[in-house]
Amino acid sequence: MPRRYFGTDGIRGVVGDDLSPALVEKIGRAATIWARSAAKSEPGSDPGHVLIGRDTRASGPELEAALARGIVSAGGTAVLAGVLPTPAVALLADDLGAMVSASHNPPEYNGVKLFAHAGSKLSDEDEEAVEALLDASAQNGGSIECIEDAGERYLRHIVERFGSDLTGLRIAVDCANGSFSALAPGVFAELGAEVHAIGVDPDGTNINVGCGATDLVALSHKVLESGAHLGVAFDGDGDRVLAVDERGELLDGDQILAILALALSVDVVAVTVMTNLGFHRLMAENDIRVVTTPVGDRYVVEALRREGGLLGGEQSGHVVWLGAHVAGDGLAAALLLCRSLAGRTLSEAAATMARLPQAKRNVRVRDREIPRAILDEADRITEGLGDRGRVLVRPSGTEPVIRVLAEAETQEEAESICASIAALVLKELG
């Protein structure tokens, strides 16, 4: 059965439009029933405790309360942790974890991400099973608890496992007015860095607005203004990070992952279909095997566990290091990046990977079902490019858009190909 509500990363939508407190309450009830039912085969296991975190959106408290009502109505215990980054929920949840967030989306969006035992996101099959329970009847008998030290417990783990001496490092940190606003700058300072923070004044309406991993202009300016050695930018819920070098130039997730793969001496790395061909070439030169997955960090984590790997990520900034974590974590990745510089500037470290030019378009559509003719045209162009580039057309898992990616030896060629495919998508689906 195809999923109706779950997308690439949980359930997400515009609050008051396609996401309501009533739906979120149903999600809380269904997820709790599903988790407790799935655990019946394990003697003594009853995952009735659900850790709930949220980001800084104005709609967060109302949806948090709705999620808690749903959990209680299924006989579970809703454990409210307040504002937390998504990776903290994955790391700290003993049983089921739930994050009220729309990640990198604008403030009017919100959503719910679910984590099963050991911090893994639900599989496609698990999400289908939860959706099948959305109309389940209330059972009641549950309760609500609050915890005050979740952020501190998370930070202790991150500092101990990912921290290093950052004395002498000047770093600009953009927290996107999101979940890391009260947490991340202090970690870098504790480790000895001189910190210049922006995007640390959330008001419920400014998360991801002109700041964070979706807009690096302000961070680039801050790096140049402060003379920082580098800058890092998180998204609203903290599971993604992008960087800016000392010249104010952007580094995407592929470049960050390339630096880490070489510094950590891994023999396998998992990436998605969006990853730049330049990354694949660099890994081949260094005898590092690359496993490619669909878009979504959960698929990256699944591949790493299947292949026995530790490092993986996405161009968008999800970076996963299973050596000391269970999920993608922007702060952990930023600390690993700082450690990996080993006396080099960030631009020097990034120069080891030659990126092929890419062009991207997001085409807003009424229907995300891509016609065969569009896919055939993309395949035809990709075949003609050979090992010099490719075209990728896919529906977004979080927005009503079709994403078009073109990669080629020159920016002009990539832009031309991308524009032609985007025009075809707009004609057929716009």
Q: Is residue 301 part of a domain?
A: yes
pLDDT of residue 119: 86
- The answer to whether residues 189 and 301 belong to one domain is yes
What CATH number is attached to the domain comprising 302?
A: 3.40.120.10
- The answer to whether residues 137 and 159 belong to one domain is no
| Cα separations in angstroms, 289 against 281, 307, 353 | 11, 10, 16
- The answer to whether residues 221 and 281 belong to one domain is yes
pLDDT of residue 41: 47
Domain boundary among 305, 330, 350: 350
Domain boundary among 148, 169, 187: 148
Domain boundary among 114, 148, 182: 148
Domain count, the chain: 3
pLDDT per residue as tens digits for the range 196-230: 999 999 999 999 999 999 999 999 999 999 999 99
Mean local confidence (pLDDT), 118-124: 86
Among this protein's residues, is 103 annotated catalytic?
yes
pLDDT per residue as tens digits for the range 125-172: 999 999 999 999 988 789 999 999 999 999 999 999 999 999 999 999
What CATH number is attached to the domain comprising 384?
A: 3.30.310.50
Catalytic residue among 73, 101, 103, 181: 103
pLDDT at 321 over 60: yes
Q: How far apart are CA 238 and CA 327, in angstroms?
A: 11
pLDDT per residue as tens digits for the range 276-292: 999 999 999 999 999 99
- The answer to whether residues 143 and 159 belong to one domain is no
Adjacent-strand bridge partners of 174: 198, 233
HSE, CB side, 13 Å, CA atoms: give it for residue 186.
10
- The answer to whether residues 156 and 277 belong to one domain is yes
pLDDT per residue as tens digits for the range 371-401: 999 999 999 999 999 889 999 999 887 778 9
pLDDT of residue 48: 78
- The answer to whether residues 204 and 340 belong to one domain is yes
Q: Is residue 375 part of a domain?
A: yes
Neighbour count for residue 61 (Cβ, 10 Å) = 15
- The answer to whether residues 184 and 299 belong to one domain is yes
Tokens representing 215?
A: 């807009």
**What is the extent of the structural domain holding 86?**
6-148
Q: Is residue 1 part of a domain?
A: no
- The answer to whether residues 371 and 297 belong to one domain is no
Q: Is residue 298 part of a domain?
A: yes
pTM for the full model?
0.91
pLDDT of residue 368: 82
- The answer to whether residues 54 and 159 belong to one domain is no
